[in-house]
């Protein structure tokens, strides 16, 4: 069980570094299903575990020259406040309906991301073929 | 490359916070596509900036949860320490994969999360 949790932890970290996400998508199930925490504890514990992971990732990215410190700090501060509003909205909105709308929106965004990525890949000049091929 | 305007940063932060609070998804899954498609960041810059934003937002969230006593420290260390090792691998790997390929993989991740959100 511990070994499984460690393996999933490493995988969550790799996803975090590769994609710039927290890794909760793997940490929450690992905490709940492997280590036996209840849902609320798993979410809360994942949130704590993510802090050093994201901090180390941001620090590495900074040394690679990719980090916009001003943007990261400002967005994080706004997001911290807005998350409270999001939690409160759960009680007001027809969440089931909004959930499906959000899922559809995410699929659309996935499609847009894929299209721009493929366009970028095609724009990369291919190495010239040798004569006669 | 110039930083986004403060009004844009506010919209990015509010959108990220509301969606993650509302659906329990992580901020990065919302923020990274917004930075790429709206602001025009490449995947590396978007991921880097998202990670710093997550540090701030997750700290605020974790502080609240600590007060409620919902945090299991041993469990946090059990998954958190290996994950710190993993993030070193992930960021290293990301610098060596073309940004467009990372973006393509991210769109696959978005599909997975969309399905998880829809069928939760």
**pLDDT the model gives residue A96:** 83
Q: Please list every residue in chain B whose beta carbon sits closer than 8 Å to the beta carbon of residue A3.
A: none
Decide if A73 is inside a domain.
no
DSSP state at residue B95: T
Decide if A88 is inside a domain.
no
pLDDT tens per residue across span B76-97 = 999 999 999 999 999 999 999 9
Q: Which of B13, B17, B10 is CA-nearest to residue B61?
A: B17
Q: Do A52 and B59 touch (CB under 8 A)?
A: no
What value does the mean pLDDT of chain B take? 94
- Interval A101-108 mean pLDDT: 93
Domain containing A44 equals 2-68
Q: Please list every residue in chain B whose beta carbon sits closer than 8 Å to the beta carbon of residue A74.
A: 6, 9-10, 13
**pLDDT the model gives residue A49:** 96
pLDDT surpasses 90 at B109: yes
- Interval B22-38 mean pLDDT: 91
Interface check for A39 against chain B (CB to CB < 8 A): the answer is no
Decide if A17 is inside a domain.
yes
pLDDT surpasses 80 at A35: yes
The phi and psi torsions of A132 (rounded to 5 degrees) equal 85, 10
Q: Do B87 and A56 touch (CB under 8 A)?
A: yes
Count of structural domains within chain A: 1
The model carries a pTM of: 0.92
Decide if A125 is inside a domain.
no
Domain-by-domain residue ranges, chain B? 6-119
Per-residue CA distances from A90 to A96, A110, B21, B23, B37 (Å) = 10, 24, 8, 8, 27
DSSP states of A48-101: HHHHHHHHHHHHHHHHTT---HHHHHHHHHHHHHHHHHHHHHTTTS-HHHHHHH
**pLDDT the model gives residue A133:** 47
- Interval A4-15 mean pLDDT: 97
CA distance B84 to A16: 9
Which two tokens mark A13?
């970290």
* pLDDT tier for residue A97 given thresholds of 50, 70 and 90: confident
Decide if A77 is inside a domain.
no
Decide if A105 is inside a domain.
no
* pLDDT tier for residue A93 given thresholds of 50, 70 and 90: confident
């Amino acid at each position: 069980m511990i070994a499984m949790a460690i393996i999933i932890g490493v995988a969550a970290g790799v996803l975090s570094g590769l994609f710039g996400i927290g890794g909760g998508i793997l940490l929450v199930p690992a905490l709940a299903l492997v280590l036996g925490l209840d849902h609320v504890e798993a979410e809360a514990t994942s949130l704590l575990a993510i802090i050093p992971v994201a901090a180390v990732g941001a620090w590495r990215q900074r040394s690679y020259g990719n980090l916009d410190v001003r943007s990261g700090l400002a967005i994080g501060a706004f997001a911290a406040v807005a998350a409270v509003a999001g939690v409160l909205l759960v009680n007001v909105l027809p969440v089931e309906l909004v959930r499906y709308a959000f899922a559809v929106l995410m699929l659309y965004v996935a499609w847009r991301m894929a299209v721009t990525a493929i366009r970028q890949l095609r724009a990369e000049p291919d190495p010239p073929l040798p004569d006669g091929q | 490359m110039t930083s986004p305007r403060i009004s844009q940063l506010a919209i990015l932060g509010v959108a990220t916070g509301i969606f993650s609070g509302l659906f329990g998804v992580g901020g990065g899954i919302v923020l990274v596509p917004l930075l790429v498609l709206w602001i025009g960041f490449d995947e590396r810059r978007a991921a880097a900036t998202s990670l710093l934003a997550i540090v701030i937002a997750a700290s605020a969230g974790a502080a609240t949860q600590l007060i409620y006593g919902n945090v299991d420290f041993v469990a946090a260390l059990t998954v958190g320490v290996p994950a710190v090792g993993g993030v070193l691998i992930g960021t290293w790997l990301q610098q060596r994969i073309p940004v467009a390929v990372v973006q393509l993989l991210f769109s696959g991740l978005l599909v997975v999360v969309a399905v998880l959100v829809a069928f939760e």
